[in-house]
Amino acid sequence: MLFNRRSSLTWAAAAVLAATLGNTAHAATPLRLIMFEQDGCPWCARWNQEIGPIYPKTTEGEAAPLTRLDIHAALPNGIDLVRKPQFTPTFVLLEDGKEVGRIEGYPGADFFWGLLDRLLSKATPPKA
């Protein structure tokens, strides 16, 4: 059962999420949200406190599971970014390993969800 964070997802984002999830909550997804972070980052700590515990329980978290990477670490193979992140936290939505878009910084919970919904609406709905 997914946590119903709110009911105001954009129609496009809702369609992507529904198509990605299919009939099972554990369906393989081509989407992934990468959180670039570093030790001592106060905005990362704030995100961890406000969003971190609920993110995996949301429809967004199911559609785009979170992976955390240190901003100074080498990128794993198979990740194609438009540019290297400069700030922490930076959230990059990947589709099949390629960047769809990003959120630079943490603007607070209300703005974060809206910005993430906008990124998810840019992703290509999987073919049924």
User: Within 64-108, where are the H helices?
Assistant: none
Task: State phi, psi for 55 to the nearest 5 degrees.
Answer: -50, -50
pLDDT of residue 28: 56
Helix axes 109-122, 11-21, angle to 10 degrees: 70
Written as tens digits, the pLDDT of the chain (128 aa) is: 344 444 344 434 444 444 444 433 434 569 999 999 999 999 999 999 999 999 999 999 999 999 999 999 999 999 999 999 999 999 999 999 999 999 999 999 999 999 999 999 998 776 55
What pLDDT does 126 receive? 60
The CA–CA distances, whole Å, from 99 to 34, 50, 103 equal 10, 25, 11
Report yes or no: 83 and 23 within 8 Å, Cβ to Cβ: no
pLDDT of 29: 66
Strand 66-70 to strand 98-104: parallel, antiparallel, or no bridges (unpaired)? unpaired
Interstrand relation of 31-37 and 90-95 (parallel, antiparallel or unpaired): antiparallel
CB burial readout 1-40, b (16+ within 10 A) else e: eeeebeeebeeebbebbebbbeeeeeeebebbbbbbbeee
pLDDT for 25: 40
pTM: 0.78
Output the CA torsion sign for 76, 125, 116, 87.
Answer: positive
Cross-strand partners of 101:
93
Q: Which domains does the chain have, with CATH numbers?
A: 30-122 (3.40.30.10)
